[in-house]
């Protein structure tokens, strides 16, 4: 997740991966959208899921299968904050992160500032375990 060298072209790939109307790899609309997509990837990737980066991710989806409690939510929020700082700290400044689990639904709210544009953004992510 590092910045390209001077003069190098950066290729930001849309998440989830798909093709655009021309049959080419889709790209995000702008840098702010790319950062939001990276944040979503990080939050919902479980450690060990990526072969070449086994420590990437923060395990939020495991919250859905654990008994819900304030202690568990605090632990997950701490883990998610640490992952965001490690993997996306060069792209954004984290303002607030909240994770809650209600039955089979995980809700995550994140407020952050994109470093390149200095734009504050808020993102809400919802994942539901299929029945």
Region 80-109: mean pLDDT is: 88
Considering only residues 79 and 69, tell me which one the structure prediction assigns the higher pLDDT.
Answer: 79
Highest-pLDDT range among 18-22, 32-36, 71-75, 119-123: 119-123
φ/ψ region of 22 (left if φ > 0, alpha if ψ in -120 to 50, else beta) reads: alpha
Using only C-alpha atoms, the chain has a radius of gyration, in whole angstroms, of 16
The pLDDT of 79-108, averaged and rounded, is: 88
Query: The whole model's pTM is what?
Result: 0.74
- Residue at token pair 């840098």: 31
Per-residue confidence (pLDDT) for residue 113, from 0 to 100 = 96
Asked if pLDDT for residue 116 goes beyond 60, the answer is yes
Is the Cβ–Cβ distance between 110 and 38 less than 8 Å? no
Model confidence pLDDT, tens digit, residues 11-49: 677 766 667 788 877 777 788 888 988 898 898 899 999
pLDDT band at 131 (very low <50, low <70, confident <90, very high): low
| Alpha helix ranges (H) inside the chain | 31-44, 70-88
* Percentage of the chain exceeding pLDDT 70: 81
């Amino acid at each position: 997740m590092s910045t390209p060298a001077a003069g190098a072209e950066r290729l930001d790939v849309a998440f989830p991966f798909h093709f655009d109307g021309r049959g080419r790899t889709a790209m995000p609309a702008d840098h702010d959208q790319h950062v939001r997509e990276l944040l979503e990837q990080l939050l919902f990737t479980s450690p060990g899921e990526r072969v070449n980066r086994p420590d990437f991710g923060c395990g939020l989806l495991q919250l859905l299968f654990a008994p819900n409690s304030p202690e568990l939510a605090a632990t997950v929020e701490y883990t998610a904050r640490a992952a965001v700082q490690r993997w996306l700290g060069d792209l954004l400044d984290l303002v607030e992160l909240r994770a809650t689990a209600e039955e089979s639904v995980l809700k995550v709210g994140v407020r952050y500032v994109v470093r390149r544009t200095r734009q504050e953004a808020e993102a809400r992510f919802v994942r539901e375990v299929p029945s």
